[in-house]
Amino acid sequence: RGPIHCLKCNRNIYSLCMELFVEDDFFGIQDDTCDVCTKNYCHRCSADDNHFSSVCLCRTCERVYCSKCSTMVECGNDCDKMYCELSCLPQNICASPHCSRTFCNSCRSDDACRTCGKSWCVNCNDCMECDWCKIRCCAECSEKDGVNGVHSCDDCENLKVLCDRCRVEVCESSNCKSCAKIIQPVLLKENKKLQDEIKSLKDENKELKDENKEMRRNMDLARMFLR
DSSP category for residue 22: H
Which residues does residue 103 pair with via DSSP β-bridges, in sequence order? 92
Report the C-alpha gap between 162 and 226 in whole angstroms.
69
What sign does the CA torsion over 166, 172, 173, 179 have? positive
Q: Mean pLDDT across the chain, nearest whole number?
A: 76
pLDDT band at 15 (very low <50, low <70, confident <90, very high): low
Find out whether 100 and 110 touch, Cβ atoms under 8 Å.
no
pLDDT band at 13 (very low <50, low <70, confident <90, very high): low
**pLDDT tens-digit map of 96-131:** 888 888 888 777 766 788 889 888 887 887 788 888
Instruction: State how far Cα 91 lies from the chain centre.
Output: 16
Report the C-alpha gap between 185 and 140 in whole angstroms.
16
Report the C-alpha gap between 128 and 150 in whole angstroms.
6
**pLDDT tens-digit map of 67-95:** 788 888 888 777 778 888 756 877 788 88
pLDDT band at 172 (very low <50, low <70, confident <90, very high): low
Return the percentage of the chain with pLDDT > 90, whole number.
2
Q: What is the pLDDT of residue 2?
A: 57
